[in-house]
Amino acid sequence: MGQTISQNELLQEAQKLQEQLTSWRRDFHQHPELGFEEKRTSKIVADYLETLGLEVDRDVAGTGVIALLRGENPGPTVGLRADMDALPIHEQSDAPYRSTVDGKMHACGHDAHTAILMGAATVLSKQGLNHGNIKFVFQPAEEGRGGAAAMIEAGCLENPDVDVMAGLHVNTGIDTGSITVTEDRVGCGSADFFTIEVKGSGGHAAHPHQTVDSIGVTSEVISSIQQIVSRQVAPNDAAVITIGTIEGGTASNVIAPSVKMTGTVRTLNPDVRLEIPKKMEQVINGVTSAFGASYDLDYQYLFPSILNDFSLRDVVERVADQVLGEGHCTREKSGLGGEDFAFYTEKVPSIFFRLGVGNDEMTRYPGHHPSFDIDEEALPYGSAMLSKFALQYIEENTK
């Protein structure tokens, strides 16, 4: 039988799990797994969720897990999502729970997200539901490999159909005990990726006139495409073009015949998103042809922007006032970081918020930094927020 539970009791229940949440998070942190490799993580998650009496589906989209808490009576279905994958970054930390795998670490907090949602499942399954359903979606491969799209294709929004989705992301720039939501409907930047190969003709470093120096041309290409943002995009439309890797050359006395580089484009405005590759093609073609070189451009639209539902943002703000106390939820401008939670927002009304995991007694390294870490006292706040959001939405939308 579902029980009525106050927001304060809900947080207290989550805080009782502090030791367990920390243990889960540290275990995942010590054993990071990259996208679609999360076999150990997903087994731990699925095994535990089964002990709660939930209906559990394993190996969804390869390594995903879905667990369902059914209510006693009809009502809406709320989806809660956590991502489980790590990054190919070598950890630089002296923490006793640092990564045990060379070249892999949880540098973006997905270990915390997984522990937080396990905590929410614990709290909610203990209380039960009078109405509706809550679906816990543990997703693989958020970091650039399209895990959300794979989960959707595998049916995570069906049987029963999910009415709304909610997710969170830890942020060390926000104090523990607080959250932020975005001012605008667009909740993050779209994240697209490209590969450029500049093709010249190699030769001896002492005779550049007999070659087309691909490295020299590449330097002009990089300089020129940066001016797309500064001179061809309106100043009030945020955009970023970043070159992340460059590969070219084999020796100091050889002019390289070709150079390959990869990068990413981030935008908020969908119209600007569509225009960027056209502008890049025009600039790259002009620069390379001017120096007698050629090129290949492979541009991939990968991750759209999160589209937050304003009515769900209102629910999150009310819930935050109840769970965290008034004044602990603020609105901020959208950033250009990508997040594949965006795929869910294209299918159902959704909300994504940022959970504070920083304090002034720790070094607030940003996500994707090799020394990234979090204040683990924040974990129960995340579990309580997700739990209360689900309960609040079901209560307000049950006829």
pLDDT at residue number 6: 54
Angle between helix 379-396 and helix 110-127 axes, rounded to 10 deg: 50
pLDDT at 120 exceeding the cut of 80: yes
Residue 372 forms part of a structural domain: yes
Residues 6+ apart with CB under 8 A from 266: 189, 190, 191, 192, 238, 239, 240, 242, 336, 337, 338
Q: pLDDT tens for residues 337-385?
A: 999 999 999 999 999 999 999 999 988 999 999 999 999 999 999 999 9
Is residue 192 among the annotated active site residues? Answer: no
Residues 6+ apart with CB under 8 A from 391: 5, 10, 124
Same domain, 128 and 211: no
pLDDT at residue number 7: 58
Q: How far apart are CA 397 and CA 127, in angstroms?
A: 19
Query: Would you state the structure tokens that stand for residue 379, as one six-digit string?
Result: 């974990």
Query: Structural domain tally of the chain?
Result: 2
pLDDT at 3 exceeding the cut of 90: no
Which letter does DSSP use for residue 144 in this model?
Answer: T
CA-closest candidate to residue 68, choices 82, 83, 53 = 53
Q: How far apart are CA 335 and CA 277, in angstroms?
A: 21
Same domain, 40 and 180: yes
Q: CATH number of the domain that 90 lies in?
A: 3.40.630.10
Q: Which of 303, 334, 354 is the last residue of a domain?
A: 303
Cβ-contact 291, 216 below 8 angstroms: yes
Q: How far apart are CA 90 and CA 107, in angstroms?
A: 9
CA-closest candidate to residue 308, choices 358, 268, 356, 267 = 268
Same domain, 99 and 238: no
Q: pLDDT tens for residues 128-140?
A: 999 999 999 999 9
pLDDT at 232 exceeding the cut of 50: yes
Q: How far apart are CA 93 and CA 95, in angstroms?
A: 6
Residues 6+ apart with CB under 8 A from 392: 315, 318, 319
Q: How far apart are CA 8 and CA 304, in angstroms?
A: 37
* Distances from the Cα of 108 to the Cα of 77, 82, 85, angstroms: 28, 12, 9
Q: How far apart are CA 172 and CA 166, in angstroms?
A: 20
Same domain, 199 and 325: no
On the CB side of 60, how many CA atoms lie within 13 Å of its CA?
Answer: 28
Q: Which of 13, 37, 38, 85 is catalytic?
A: 85
Averaged over 248-262, what is the pLDDT? 97
Q: CATH number of the domain that 238 lies in?
A: 3.30.70.360
Give the 3-state secondary structure percentages of the chain, helix then strand then coil, rounded to 5.
35, 30, 35
Same domain, 22 and 132: yes
Query: Would you state the structure tokens that stand for residue 26, as one six-digit string?
Result: 């540290």
Residue 316 forms part of a structural domain: yes
pLDDT at 195 exceeding the cut of 80: yes
139 Rama sector, left if φ>0, alpha if ψ -120 to 50, beta otherwise: beta
The range of the structural domain enclosing residue 259 comes to: 190-303
Same domain, 155 and 52: yes
- Rg of the Cα trace of the chain? 23
Categorize the per-residue pLDDT at 144 as very low, low, confident or very high, splitting at 50, 70 and 90: confident
Q: Which of 303, 319, 346 is the last residue of a domain?
A: 303
Site of tokens 């523990």: 176
Residue 2 forms part of a structural domain: no
Same domain, 203 and 229: yes
Q: How far apart are CA 235 and CA 220, in angstroms?
A: 23
Strand ordering across the sheet containing 258-267 = 239-248, 258-267, 190-199, 294-303
Residue 137 forms part of a structural domain: yes
CA-closest candidate to residue 61, choices 142, 172, 140 = 140
Same domain, 87 and 147: yes
pLDDT at 1 exceeding the cut of 80: no
Q: What DSSP string runs through 360-377?
A: TTS--PPTT-TT----GG
Residue 1 forms part of a structural domain: no
pLDDT at 124 exceeding the cut of 70: yes
Q: Which of 33, 37, 83, 142 is catalytic?
A: 142
Q: How far apart are CA 299 and CA 365, in angstroms?
A: 31
| Residue 368 neighbours by CB distance under 10 Å | 13
Same domain, 97 and 232: no
Residue 179 forms part of a structural domain: yes
Q: pLDDT tens for residues 29-74?
A: 999 999 999 999 999 999 999 999 999 999 999 999 999 999 999 9
pTM of structure: 0.91
Same domain, 372 and 297: no
pLDDT at residue number 363: 87
pLDDT at residue number 260: 98
Residue 88 forms part of a structural domain: yes
Q: How far apart are CA 134 and CA 244, in angstroms?
A: 40
Is residue 317 among the annotated active site residues? Answer: no
Averaged over 149-165, what is the pLDDT? 98
Same domain, 76 and 184: yes
Categorize the per-residue pLDDT at 9 as very low, low, confident or very high, splitting at 50, 70 and 90: confident
In whole numbers, what is the pLDDT of the chain averaged over residues?
Answer: 96
Q: Which of 251, 268, 303 is the last residue of a domain?
A: 303
pLDDT at residue number 399: 82
Same domain, 149 and 296: no
Residue 312 forms part of a structural domain: yes
Q: Which amino acid is at 5?
A: I
